[in-house]
A and B are shown apart, each in its own frame.
Chain A
């Protein structure tokens, strides 16, 4: 079992829908990252959080440390949000590296 699991693996929605991507992890962590990867490979960091909730524009990220779970929400989704969204954790042990989920491929249709 991977240390970081994301669901769903693929998600297709219509423009304007509210999107939720989930991430569960099995190790103690010092931080959790949400990343966005567009075709071509470039990765952009969206959020780094260790507790609570963060919001940036239409994106909201939450984390529950006790339940080892995080969610990424996109409100009023738009076709330009289509990308792969990756959850990554920074484990307490060996805290120099990130451990990644397999990614969620999001497609927003107009």
Chain B
């Protein structure tokens, strides 16, 4: 399978715990995007990388959120001290160029109890 993959697919955690999600983009894609989708809403932009550089962050990305793409391949999104409001689907997408189609992963569904 050469599509975008995300791990884990589901995560249940208790409030206050830290969680980390991983995204593996399509191998030759240099751009990687993170989005968050709450129930009944469309996705919202969180951040994006061009290769290993994080070029834009949404104001939705509070200080508890950090994303990395250390070697310009896979990316991780960490949420520290999770809150119930962090419960959402976290989607990753990749593209070969900023003006080309974005390919989405299956998402990681986070539930904070």
Give a binary string over B77-113; 1 marks a CB under 8 Å from any A CB, 0 the rest: 0000000000001010100001101111111010000
Q: State how many residues of chain A have any CB contact under 8 Å with chain B.
A: 25
A103 touches B42 (CB 8 A): yes
**How would you classify the secondary structure of chain B's contact residues: helix, strand, loop or mixed?**
strand
- CB A47 to nearest CB in B, in angstroms, measures 9
Measured CB to CB, the closest approach of chain B to A96, in angstroms, equals: 5
Residue in contact with B101 in the complex, picked from A4, A41, A48, A102, CB distance below 8 Å: A48
Over the window 38-49 of chain B, the binary record of Cβ atoms lying under 8 Å from chain A Cβ atoms (1 yes, 0 no) is 001111110010
Q: State A107–B109 Cα separation when bound (angstroms).
A: 23
Using a Cβ–Cβ cut-off of 8 Å, how many residues does chain B contribute to the interface with A? 26
Given contacts A45-B102, A45-B103, A102-B42, 6 further A-B contacts (CB under 8 A): A40-B106, A42-B107, A43-B43, A99-B45, A100-B44, A102-B40
Task: Write 15 A-B pairs (CB below 8 A) sorted by A numbering.
Answer: A4-B42, A33-B101, A43-B93, A43-B107, A45-B101, A45-B103, A45-B104, A48-B101, A86-B42, A86-B43, A88-B42, A90-B99, A98-B35, A98-B102, A103-B40
B residues whose Cβ falls under 8 Å from a Cβ of A: 31, 33, 35, 37, 40-45, 48, 55-56, 89, 91, 93, 98-99, 101-107, 109
- A: residues with CB less than 8 A from B are 4, 30-31, 33, 35, 40-45, 48, 86, 88, 90, 94-103
